[in-house]
A and B are shown apart, each in its own frame.
Chain A
Amino acid sequence: MLFKDAFKTSTRSLTHGKMRSILTMLGIVIGIASVIILMSIGQSAQDMILGEVQSVGSNLIVVMPGAPSNGKFSSPASSRGIIITSLQQRDVDALARESSISDVASIVNGQAEAVYGNNNKTVSYQGVSANMFTVRNLAVSKGFPFTKGDVDSGSHVAVIGPELAVTLFGQYVNPIDKIIRMKNISFRVVGVLEKGGTGAFGVDQGNMVIIPTTVAQKQLLGINFLNGILLQGNSSYDINFVKSRVTFILRQNHGINDPNKDDFTIQTQADLLSILGSITSILTIFLAAIASISLIVGGIGIMNIMLVSVTERTREIGLRKAVGATNNDILQQFLIESVLLTFTGGIIGIAIGAGIVGLVYFVLSTFFSIGWVFAFPISAVILALTVSGVSGIAFGIYPAYQAGKKNPIDALRYE
């Protein structure tokens, strides 16, 4: 029997019982749609997370105080609240002289209550050098960022997050040149940050206060060390080379000869992207694996219905065999039917999945103003089509084999 004829015969059988075919397909439709939705959403989340990390700046290297942990996913001791004083301003100065580094910014962190009039809010503040605004791509929507002069002279100036501006001053008051207080020290607001969501380092940018390093160190925290150094590598150098130079300079500055005794941890943006990429990929695969359970259930449903169909059509099988169909002809016909069911189910599932992914994107970006990235990975579509086709063969082969091996005379006599 020609494949074309077998295909036509199978299509006719399926279209004859439309409702049954649709209901049989439903399991595969739901399974494929869930795989598509979860893989797309996983991909979108990954793109969004990685995008936020990249939006922080390019070619970035973060230096944190404390020895590096052994595990890929562990953070250095300093990030777990242990105070380590190894990073100093002289490290920043030494790094600034290195030609493979285009910019060096220093950071200290703290928490305080920001007060304006009767309004107050507990906020995270960062004491930074003036070049932090360029290194981290921090843009201001009102006013200006503070300058190197402000940092050097210890000016009491602050750049605040947009949400904090609303909390302290309300919607209609211009915060520029207003005076806020933290730990009883007055700061003149010189700029308001652009709306930027949550920063990649877990700092809520909307409620952040940024002040000069010098003021934060001396007047708010009473320390002389730094909580971090942010570097921007010179783009004409390989980032790993820059990393090795930073390591070299810091070891020299700290008098470290044994590489196992480093008192700092260096992480490049690429390291962070790779870690985040791994985590989100694992999460996506995990979600898709859960969704694929519904595919198996759908496949078993198809096998069930195909077995019923083979029994119901025993006489048809008998007739076809009587007039010359071979075992393989019958097997082929039923196998095409099950693959057609799963494949069509797969296509419908992809369409429904794409629709829902589009809807999620629309709702999140329109009503919740989340910078959701629309992702519809081709790999998911190829995977879905392959899985649906293969499940048609896997779950259809047994019923088709049962149909093919029927004895013609027994089949013709079947009541």
Chain B
Amino acid sequence: MIEVNNLQKEYLEGDTSTLALRGVTFSIAKGEFVSIMGPSGSGKSTLLHILSFLDRPTGGTYKFQDKSIDEMTDKELAHVRNSDMGFVFQSFNLLSRLTVYDNVEIPLLYSDISPSRRKKLVEEAVNSVGLEEKLYTEAGRLSGGQKQRVAIARALVTDPNVIFADEPTGNLDSQSGLQVMEILESLNDKGRTVILVTHETQTAEFADRIIRIKDGIVESDKKITANRIHRDIK
């Protein structure tokens, strides 16, 4: 599903250039739950932004569902982000003045889905994160954990193949963080690919594979089979 080969990203600021990714190579199959870990400045967020089509690489190749990012226009990238990808951010990125319903509906506004079907999809997505009672509450009035659940509902609403989560528990207390991770885990159980960026080992271990990045290259790439078996038994 995802194939990166010698992926590079160079930032230019004036005369100085910074190489955030120095040749990253790996592939992720459909249905995997992958954590990308690394210290600050390791390039893990840059990698996630490229994988999620929010940014373009400056070198190497990236194929998403067998299509190279280089061959796609900005409009096509926007379309793929809308239909095949869901996003969960550390800082939630909700529009606080809008209700939960309106926030979750945002991705649908940019899709071809008819207005009549949207309502059903929004309600299903909000129900799946257990916030049906807050459907018409302003997002600004929710707790941190609830906000992140709304963000997950927004990521889910277009029924994407991949969910990208950038430090989803970073702004949450441990209880809310656990709830959020359990939701992501259940989404993976239903067949969705989940790619998570975190620097917390405990959070990363929810995944069945951990890719460690350091100084812009892959330091290690390990599968945690026990985790998968444990979840299968559960």
Contacts and interface: CB of A to CB of B under 8 A. Distances in A.
Mostly, the A contact residues are helix
A412 B74 CA distance: 17
Contacts of B93: 315, 318-319, 322, 412
Nearest to B50: A409
B122 to A, nearest CB: 13
A12 to B, nearest CB: 7
Contacts of B107: 323-324
Contacts of B223: none
Contacts of A322: 52, 54, 81, 87, 93
Given A321-B78, A324-B83, A5 B95 contact: no
A80 interface: no
A4 B114 CA distance: 12
A16 interface: yes
Contact of B95 (A2, A316, A327): A316
Interface in B23-37: none
Contacts of A408: 54
Nearest to A319: B93
B153 to A, nearest CB: 12
Contacts of B74: 326-327
Nearest to A9: B109
A3 to B, nearest CB: 11
A316 B98 CA distance: 12
B54 A16 contact: no
Contact of B97 (A16, A315, A318, A321): A16
Residue from A1, A320, A322, A409 having most chain B Cβ neighbours under 10 A: A322
B54 A323 contact: no
A319 B166 CA distance: 13
A204 to B, nearest CB: 66
A327 B55 CA distance: 15
Nearest to A320: B106
Contact of B154 (A1, A5, A316, A323): A323
B116 to A, nearest CB: 13
A325 interface: yes
B125 to A, nearest CB: 13
A345 to B, nearest CB: 23
A315 B93 CA distance: 8
Contact of A12 (B54, B79, B98): B98
Contacts of A409: 49, 54-55
B97 A324 contact: no
A251 B97 CA distance: 85
B95 A319 contact: yes
Contacts of B78: 321, 324-326
Contacts of A327: 74-75
A329 interface: yes
B110 interface: yes
A323 B49 contact: no
Nearest 10 pairs between A and B by C-beta?
Answer: A324-B82, A324-B110, A323-B107, A409-B54, A319-B93, A326-B78, A5-B109, A409-B55, A325-B110, A408-B54
17 contacts: A1-B109, A12-B98, A12-B102, A318-B93, A320-B106, A320-B110, A322-B52, A322-B54, A322-B81, A324-B78, A324-B82, A324-B83, A324-B107, A326-B110, A409-B54, A409-B55, A412-B89
Given A319-B106, A324-B83, 8 more contacts: A1-B109, A322-B54, A323-B154, A326-B74, A326-B110, A327-B74, A407-B55, A412-B89
